[in-house]
Amino acid sequence: MPERLTWEQIVTKYPHQHIAVTDVKWKRNMSTIESAVVVAVETEMSSQEITGMAVSSHGRIYSEYTGEDPILDGLGRSVCTTINEI
pLDDT for 86: 41
pLDDT for 30: 77
Q: Across-strand partners of 20?
A: 40, 63
Q: What CA–CA distance (Å, rounded) separates 81 from 86?
A: 9
- Which structural domain, as residue segments, surrounds residue 49? 4-85
pLDDT for 45: 94
pLDDT for 76: 45
Total domains, the chain: 1
Q: Across-strand partners of 41?
A: 19
The one-character DSSP state at 18 is E
pLDDT in tens, 18-72: 999 999 999 988 788 999 999 999 999 998 999 999 999 988 999 999 987 655 5
The number of C-alpha atoms within 13 Å of 11 and in the hemisphere containing its C-beta is 11
Higher pLDDT, 6 or 76: 6
Q: What is the pTM of this model?
A: 0.75
The runs of H, that is alpha helices, within the chain are: 7-13, 47-56, 70-85
